[in-house]
């Protein structure tokens, strides 16, 4: 294709040509093919007329080259010399180095230009200097224009990535291997940040080379300037896998090599001896054992004492923490002096390291059996739920949001959580203080555990009132003392406040208002609706207030003050001995009740029993007190101290390393005030752990319900967790997956249960029992059943679908069917908590040992709706999260609309078909007074679709869809399509076993299945339809040649995968184009249609094979515009190699122009010729059509024979 371009000057043959073509109409066409700023060469084409004059001259693009001869530009650019940004972010690749070695030529799909070294990261400069370029090396860049020259700023585009990568130091990152040269690997991150890595050995070079153009794991060690320093974890992993190394592998000491620095290597892998052993022990041992494969630091941790690891840990043991062996292994000692190795995660190890620095060694921990092999049977797992440090650190290590008692702010980013320091990046706290954080598992240089704020919900702490009023800052414009009116400028307008309700001060006892509200003084004002008033919502905590003006109370004996807070709030304070303008610490006095005034008193009078946020400053000289100071300015003029005995519940006191927690903030409670000292207690604000007295735990404890799983309720008391099985939680049948689970024992409930250590010590929970504690009550219930004598039942809780009644602590449910209330109605309209039910009947089911509760007189509903009538109803609620079944309210009734009756065609589970509160039409289908359920249908009031899965004839027009597995049972598979629409495949509709289909889905990531209708509110899939259509295709094929049109659903370089109806087939490359060198990915795209002839069908797999060439009687000659040698045609030039010039015909077939057939000149530069005409069509003559290989036809062309002899391009 010939492209016209405009540029300033171009010299050819001593003649200067000027081309002033207006590109407004030609520009879009040019830039479709040629990137803006791309360096290119142009030639001057001409045709000689009969008289020898030049006719039809034009400039023609030859090809891209580093030798810049011209640059495509617009007239606007030619006159615009100001620097400007063309694009904020593009992906670019280097393709050449500047001659003066000061920059790099860069190209992208849209732009081309130069990146100077000052705007390029060091790693990319090193890559460019290697002069080995590949399009796989792609980095982001900003495109800028300066004096009609395009240049790239890569450093600016990577700045944000560099900031993000600083937070991943010490973590594993994925790097794409692009080039390996002279022992250097040039790579990019997934976001395109360049990395240059010097390989440490030939083994590492070979390992990295095997992963060329793919991603490998590297550990980000540090960042120096703009360079990432990494270590190759991927190569280490491959070597470990090759040698099948794991903890417990034995190594012959004679095979271990040592260098002059005593560094050990084995099979080119670095080995490190554990800290507790001496080098002499290593030399004397005949064998070493691998303790840990440290992939993070690419090394093997070995021990010379394998016997230490041979005693298996079979039960939870209480031990003392002795020392750190490896990043994840610890040495522990029990009371008898026996040693054991304990395994912990990196996050746990960071925490244990901090605790050892705070308290010293010998911290008591519980070590249980691990599931790792080694046998690593002698390596125990740290039971962090049972660490005996009198602190609940298990929540911190669960990587879930934890509540901190002292909010973390930008000013105070270091707070105490028990006795360890939590910290956040101050930039992440710019939106305000937070009270929930997540531990990242990392530690900073000050031994603080690094956290990040939890943004799952609103997490900003504020001391403001909970009122939704808007707050403004306004200033005084004028004061009218006669009418007690103050004029403010607030919210961009003037506002008058005059009443006590608006000003919140006693006007009849105050001095002139102009002494309280000086002109231009600023105050906090709130807006309720359209009304304004001064803000008297004072903080409940002790805060600083300035005395403004004194006034007299009605009893004349006390003189009060109008005071102003630091945030502009107004209040009235009863204080004595102070002067106007002084500031002191005040706190609200709640004894006054509801008034228009916020009454304040000195904080010293009411501060005992209150919590204060403090900062840790030091230790007293005698070591008996911690010295602290309030975080907020204090005006009590007193010292603050915490006795070390009141610091925490831990037996190890005082802290060994006070400097680790100095300057942190925390909360403590005021317990006493001496003459000049305020005594505080931090211990009272920390939970006390009282379950960890022995290795085995038993007894009755009060615990909190925190969740449930398939087996029962999960209970927790501080760091102790227990499992309350369903059968030990209730006196009735409690079925998993029903709504009664959540209502019977709601999350947050406190119950007293019996705890015991489980027989299986590997499970993470203790055993809990609730009903076993009430055996005496159970006997009374049994006797009541026999005697038919019952006491009144008391309503304990009103649930959504059940009423929960209790007698002597035993809770039983009553469903809507027993209460005579239609299911779905709000039970709170009929019953309330503490209500007595006198009519009751208990049944004791002996086989199941469970109670059933029935009312002696069952209520009957007053009325029920007419069947098969339509009503207008409102969507009340949805029954389940993964179902569209819902309750609809109409008149005095509530009906259930099953999942399959909501819509005709199944909907995505990601979005509800109707919003809560939406109005719909329903048809009542049943009203059962035994089950107290009214059932209705929404879809019965809607027209049935004429097409799609819900159509009447859907089975006659099956549709193929791609499904993934959602749930599986023995009789069916529940699936999801790509839009999360549910589907079902029953065993009777499958041609394979359900297990075989599950295996196929697991291997392929999904499966194509035909949809033949709707079943149970889900898409109905039927594999047997495929068999039926395959038999039909087979019968048609037996009658003769069968031509079909298919849809391409997938492709590789050598095969197309196609759909025809519900059948799947494939077409091999040699049945499309009989050439091996052609790539089908360059000719076809997924979703396109293609015609073919069915060649065969496999009835076992129902897969057919097709052929495109069979459509043409003359084979490939029907695809070509030439038939024999000597014919002329045009081909696209692709490039040159050592045998000739590679070209492509318009049919997609590849051919070759031999070197001696390119030009009449035997010394012609073939490579330069190919570059000139690359991606351009040239005329050729067919030399040969070689059919010697049936599946690989070879085409030979000649360029020179298309030209007159002696004429050259």
Looking at the structure, tell me whether residues 672 and 777 fall in a common domain.
Answer: no
What's the distance, CA 715 to chain centroid? 28
Which tokens hold the place of 921?
């039409």
Looking at the structure, tell me whether residues 964 and 935 fall in a common domain.
Answer: no
Asked if pLDDT for residue 20 goes beyond 70, the answer is no
Residues 6+ apart with CB under 8 A from 9: 16, 17, 18
Cβ contacts of 198-201, under 8 Å, gap ≥ 24: 199/232, 200/232, 201/268
Asked if pLDDT for residue 244 goes beyond 70, the answer is yes
Give the span between the Cα atoms of 537 and 1086, in whole angstroms.
65
Report whether 511 contacts 548 (CB < 8 A). Answer: no
- Across the beta sheet with 470-480, the strand order is 493-497, 485-490, 470-480, 522-528, 531-534
Chain segment 540-556, per-residue pLDDT in tens: 667 778 888 887 655 44
Residue 595 CB neighbours (<10 A): 12
**Residue 1189: per-residue pLDDT:** 75
**Residue 960: per-residue pLDDT:** 84
**Residue 383: per-residue pLDDT:** 60
Name the least confident of 317-331, 1096-1110, 1186-1200.
Answer: 317-331
Looking at the structure, tell me whether residues 570 and 546 fall in a common domain.
Answer: yes
- Please check whether residue 371 lies inside any domain of the structure: yes
Can you tell me the mean pLDDT for 104-111?
80
- Please check whether residue 188 lies inside any domain of the structure: no
Q: For the chain, what's the residue count?
A: 1209
Asked if pLDDT for residue 1198 goes beyond 90, the answer is yes
Q: What is the CA radius of gyration of the chain?
A: 41
Looking at the structure, tell me whether residues 780 and 898 fall in a common domain.
Answer: no
Give the span between the Cα atoms of 975 and 964, in whole angstroms.
6
Work out the pLDDT band at 938, boundaries 50, 70, 90: very high
Work out the pLDDT band at 1054, boundaries 50, 70, 90: confident
Report whether 348 contacts 382 (CB < 8 A). Answer: yes
**Residue 247: per-residue pLDDT:** 74
Report whether 362 contacts 322 (CB < 8 A). Answer: yes
Q: Mean of the per-residue pLDDT values for the chain?
A: 78
Which tokens hold the place of 417?
């959580």
What's the distance, CA 1001 to chain centroid? 25
Query: For the CA atoms of 238, 243, 245, 249, what is the dihedral angle to 10 degrees?
Result: -170
- Please check whether residue 92 lies inside any domain of the structure: no
What's the distance, CA 305 to chain centroid? 43
Can you tell me the mean pLDDT for 144-163?
81
Q: Which residue has the higher pLDDT, 345 or 614?
A: 614
Chain segment 391-442, per-residue pLDDT in tens: 667 767 766 688 888 888 888 889 988 888 899 988 888 777 888 888 888 8
Task: Name the pTM for this structure.
Answer: 0.40
- Please check whether residue 925 lies inside any domain of the structure: yes
Looking at the structure, tell me whether residues 347 and 403 fall in a common domain.
Answer: no
- Please check whether residue 593 lies inside any domain of the structure: yes
Can you tell me the mean pLDDT for 202-209?
79
**Residue 1181: per-residue pLDDT:** 92
What is the pairing mode between strands 493-497 and 485-490? antiparallel
Asked if pLDDT for residue 974 goes beyond 80, the answer is yes
Chain segment 729-742, per-residue pLDDT in tens: 887 777 665 667 77
Q: Which of 807, 833, 860 is the last residue of a domain?
A: 860
Work out the pLDDT band at 772, boundaries 50, 70, 90: confident
Instruction: Assess whether the previous peptide bond of 37 is cis (omega < 30° from 0).
Output: no
Instruction: Domain of residue 1144: give its range.
Output: 1122-1202
φ, ψ (nearest 5 deg) of residue 459: -130, 25
Give the span between the Cα atoms of 23 and 4, in whole angstroms.
9
Name the least confident of 16-20, 843-847, 850-854, 859-863.
Answer: 16-20
**Residue 459: per-residue pLDDT:** 55
Asked if pLDDT for residue 375 goes beyond 60, the answer is no
Work out the pLDDT band at 465, boundaries 50, 70, 90: very low
Which tokens hold the place of 434?
């937070």
Can you tell me the mean pLDDT for 328-343?
77
- Please check whether residue 700 lies inside any domain of the structure: no
Count of domains forming the chain:
9
Asked if pLDDT for residue 55 goes beyond 80, the answer is no
Residue found by looking up tokens 């029962």 in the block? 712
Looking at the structure, tell me whether residues 852 and 744 fall in a common domain.
Answer: yes
Which tokens hold the place of 909?
């589970």
Concatenate the DSSP letters of all residues of 1066-1089 into one string. EEEGGGTSS-SS--GGGT--TT-E
Q: CA 75 → CA 21, 26, 1060, distances in Å?
A: 9, 12, 53
Looking at the structure, tell me whether residues 890 and 909 fall in a common domain.
Answer: yes
Q: Which of 1085, 1111, 1137 is the last residue of a domain?
A: 1111
**Residue 873: per-residue pLDDT:** 93
Give the span between the Cα atoms of 140 and 162, in whole angstroms.
12
Name the least confident of 39-53, 245-259, 395-409, 935-949.
Answer: 39-53
Looking at the structure, tell me whether residues 1031 and 1018 fall in a common domain.
Answer: no
**Residue 985: per-residue pLDDT:** 92
Which tokens hold the place of 484?
């007690």
Looking at the structure, tell me whether residues 543 and 590 fall in a common domain.
Answer: yes
Top mean pLDDT of 317-326, 435-444, 503-512, 777-786 is at: 435-444
φ, ψ (nearest 5 deg) of residue 646: -105, 15
Report whether 588 contacts 570 (CB < 8 A). Answer: no
Give the span between the Cα atoms of 1120 and 1195, in whole angstroms.
11
Q: Coil, helix or strand for 809?
A: coil
Asked if pLDDT for residue 113 goes beyond 70, the answer is yes
Can you tell me the mean pLDDT for 749-757?
80
Q: Which residue has the higher pLDDT, 1193 or 845?
A: 1193
Chain segment 864-890, per-residue pLDDT in tens: 888 888 999 999 888 777 788 899 999
Q: Which residues pair with 640 in a beta bridge?
A: 628, 678
Looking at the structure, tell me whether residues 269 and 286 fall in a common domain.
Answer: yes
Work out the pLDDT band at 232, boundaries 50, 70, 90: confident
Which tokens hold the place of 1124?
């024999």
- Please check whether residue 37 lies inside any domain of the structure: no
Chain segment 75-94, per-residue pLDDT in tens: 444 444 456 677 778 888 88
Work out the pLDDT band at 635, boundaries 50, 70, 90: low
Looking at the structure, tell me whether residues 898 and 882 fall in a common domain.
Answer: yes
DSSP element (H, E) containing 112: strand 112-116
Check which CATH number belongs to the domain holding 1081 and give it: 2.40.50.140
Q: Which of 685, 712, 738 is the last residue of a domain?
A: 685
- Please check whether residue 582 lies inside any domain of the structure: yes
Work out the pLDDT band at 941, boundaries 50, 70, 90: very high
DSSP E strands in 589-740: the ranges are 599-602, 611-619, 625-630, 639-643, 665-673, 677-681, 698-708, 712-717, 720-725
Give the span between the Cα atoms of 390 and 683, in whole angstroms.
11
Looking at the structure, tell me whether residues 991 and 874 fall in a common domain.
Answer: no
């Amino acid at each position: 294709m010939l492209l016209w371009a405009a540029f300033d000057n171009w010299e050819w043959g001593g003649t200067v040509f000027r081309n002033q073509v207006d590109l407004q109409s030609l520009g879009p066409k040019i830039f479709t093919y040629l990137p803006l700023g791309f360096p290119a060469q142009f030639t001057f084409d001409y045709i000689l007329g009969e008289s020898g004059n030049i006719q039809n001259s034009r400039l023609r693009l030859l090809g891209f080259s580093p030798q810049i001869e011209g640059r495509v530009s617009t007239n606007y650019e030619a006159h615009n010399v100001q620097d400007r940004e063309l694009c904020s972010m593009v992906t670019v690749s280097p393709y050449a180095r500047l001659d003066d070695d000061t920059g790099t030529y860069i190209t992208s799909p849209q732009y081309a230009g130069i990146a100077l070294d000052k705007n390029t990261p060091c790693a990319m400069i090193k890559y460019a200097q290697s002069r080995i370029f590949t399009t796989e090396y792609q980095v982001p860049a900003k495109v800028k224009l300066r004096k009609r020259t395009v240049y790239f700023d890569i450093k600016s585009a990577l700045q944000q990535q560099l900031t993000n990568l600083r937070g991943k130091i010490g973590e594993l990152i994925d790097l794409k291997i692009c080039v390996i040269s002279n022992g250097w690997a040039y790579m990019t991150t997934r976001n395109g940040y360049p990395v240059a890595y010097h390989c440490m050995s030939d083994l590492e070079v070979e390992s990295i080379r095997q992963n060329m153009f793919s991603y490998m794991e590297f550990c980000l060690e540090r960042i120096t300037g703009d360079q990432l320093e990494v270590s190759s974890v991927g190569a280490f992993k491959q070597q470990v896998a090759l040698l099948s190394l794991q903890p417990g592998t034995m190594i012959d000491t004679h095979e271990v090599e040592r260098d002059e620095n005593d560094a050990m290597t084995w099979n080119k892998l670095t080995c490190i001896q554990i800290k507790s052993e001496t080098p002499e022990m290593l030399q004397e041992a005949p064998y070493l054992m691998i303790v840990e494969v440290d992939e993070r630091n690419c090394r093997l941790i070995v021990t010379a004492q394998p016997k230490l690891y041979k005693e298996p840990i079979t039960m939870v043991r209480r031990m003392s923490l002795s020392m750190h062996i490896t990043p994840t292994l610890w040495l522990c000692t029990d009371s008898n002096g026996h040693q054991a190795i304990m395994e912990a995660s990196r996050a746990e190890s960071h925490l244990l390291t901090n605790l050892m620095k705070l308290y010293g060694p010998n911290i008591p921990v519980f070590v249980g059996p691990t599931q790792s092999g080694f046998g690593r049977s002698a390596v125990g797992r740290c039971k962090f739920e049972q660490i005996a440090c009198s602190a609940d650190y298990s929540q911190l290590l669960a990587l879930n949001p934890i509540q901190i008692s002292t909010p973390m702010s930008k000013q105070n980013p270091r707070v105490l959580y028990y006795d360890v320091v939590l910290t956040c990046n101050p930039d992440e706290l710019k939106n305000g203080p937070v009270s929930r954080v997540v531990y990242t598992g990392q530690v900073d240089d000050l031994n603080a555990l690094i956290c990040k704020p939890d943004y799952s919900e609103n997490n900003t702490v504020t001391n403001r009132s909970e009122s939704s009023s808007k707050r403004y800052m306004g200033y005084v414009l004028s004061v009218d003392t006669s009418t007690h009116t103050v004029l403010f400028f607030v919210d961009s307008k003037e506002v008058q406040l005059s009443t006590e309700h608006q000003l919140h001060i006693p006007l009849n006892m105050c001095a002139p208002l102009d002494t309280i509200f000086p002109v231009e003084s600023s105050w906090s004002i709130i807006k309720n609706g359209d009304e304004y008033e001064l803000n008297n919502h004072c903080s409940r905590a002790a805060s600083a207030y300035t005395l403004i003006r004194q006034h007299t109370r009605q009893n004349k004996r006390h003189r009060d003050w109008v005071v102003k807070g630091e945030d502009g709030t107004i209040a009235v304070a009863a204080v004595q001995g102070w002067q106007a303008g002084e500031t002191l610490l005040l706190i609200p006095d709640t004894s006054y009740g509801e008034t228009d005034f916020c009454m304040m008193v000195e904080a010293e009078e009411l501060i005992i029993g209150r919590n204060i946020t403090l900062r840790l400053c030091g230790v007293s000289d005698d070591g008996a007190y911690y010295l602290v100071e309030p975080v907020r300015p204090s005006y009590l003029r007193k010292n603050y101290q915490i006795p070390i005995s009141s610091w925490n519940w831990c037996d190890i006191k005082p802290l060994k390393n006070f400097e680790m927690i100095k300057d942190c903030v925390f909360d403590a409670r005021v317990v006493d005030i001496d003459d000049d000292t305020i005594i505080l207690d931090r211990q009272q604000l920390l939970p006390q752990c009282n379950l960890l007295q022995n290795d085995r735990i038993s007894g009755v404890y009060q615990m909190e319900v925190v969740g449930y799983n398939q087996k029962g309720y999960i209970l927790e008391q501080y760091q102790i967790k227990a499992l309350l099985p369903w059968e030990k939680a209730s006196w009735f049948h409690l079925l998993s997956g029903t709504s009664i689970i959540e209502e019977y024992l709601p999350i947050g409930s406190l119950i007293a249960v019996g705890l015991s250590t489980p027989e299986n010590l590997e499970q993470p929970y203790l055993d809990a029992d609730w009903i076993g504690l009430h055996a005496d009550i159970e006997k009374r219930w049994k006797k009541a059943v026999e005697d038919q004598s019952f006491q009144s039942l008391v309503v304990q809780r009103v649930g959504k679908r059940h009423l929960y009644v209790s007698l002597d602590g035993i809770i039983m449910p009553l469903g809507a069917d027993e209460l005579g209330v239609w299911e779905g109605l709000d039970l709170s309209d009929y019953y309330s908590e503490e209500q007595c039910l006198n009519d009751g009947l208990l049944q004791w089911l002996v086989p199941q040992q469970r109670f059933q509760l029935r009312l002696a007189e069952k209520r009957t509903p007053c009325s029920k709706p007419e069947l098969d009538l339509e009503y207008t109803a409102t969507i009340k609620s949805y029954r389940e999260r993964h179902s569209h079944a819902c309750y609809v309210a109409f008149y005095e009734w509530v009906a259930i609309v099953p999942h399959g009756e909501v819509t005709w065609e199944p909907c995505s589970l990601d979005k509800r078909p109707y919003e809560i509160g939406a109005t719909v039409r329903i048809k009542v289908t049943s009203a059962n007074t035994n089950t107290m359920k009214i059932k209705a249908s929404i879809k019965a009031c809607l027209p049935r679709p004429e097409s799609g899965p819900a159509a009447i004839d859907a089975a006659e027009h099956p549709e193929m869809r791609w499904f993934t597995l959602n749930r599986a049972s023995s009789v069916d598979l529940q699936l999801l399509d790509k839009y999360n629409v549910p589907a079902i495949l029953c065993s009777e509709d499958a041609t394979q076993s359900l297990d075989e289909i599950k295996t196929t889905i697991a291997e392929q990531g999904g499966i194509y299945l035909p949809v033949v209708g709707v079943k149970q509110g889900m898409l109905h899939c039927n594999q047997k339809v495929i068999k039926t259509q395959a038999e039909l295709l087979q019968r048609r094929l037996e009658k003769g040649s069968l031509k079909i049109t298919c849809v391409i659903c997938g492709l590789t370089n050598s095969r197309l995968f196609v759909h025809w109806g519900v059948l799947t087939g494939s077409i091999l490359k040699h049945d499309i184009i009989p050439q091996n060198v052609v790539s089908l990915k360059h000719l076809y795209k997924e979703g396109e249609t293609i015609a073919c002839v069915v060649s065969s069908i496999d009835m076992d797999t129902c897969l057919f094979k097709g052929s495109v060439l069979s459509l043409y009687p003359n084979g490939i000659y029907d695809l070509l515009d030439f038939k024999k040698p000597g014919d002329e045609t045009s081909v696209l030039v692709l490039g040159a190699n050592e045998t000739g010039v590679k070209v492509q015909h318009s049919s997609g077939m590849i051919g070759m122009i031999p070197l001696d057939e390119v030009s009449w000149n035997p010394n012609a530069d073939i490579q330069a010729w190919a570059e000139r005409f690359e991606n351009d069509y040239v005329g050729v003559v067919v030399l040969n059509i070689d059919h010697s290989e049936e599946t690989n036809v070879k085409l030979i062309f000649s360029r020179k024979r298309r030209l007159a002899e002696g004429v050259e391009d």
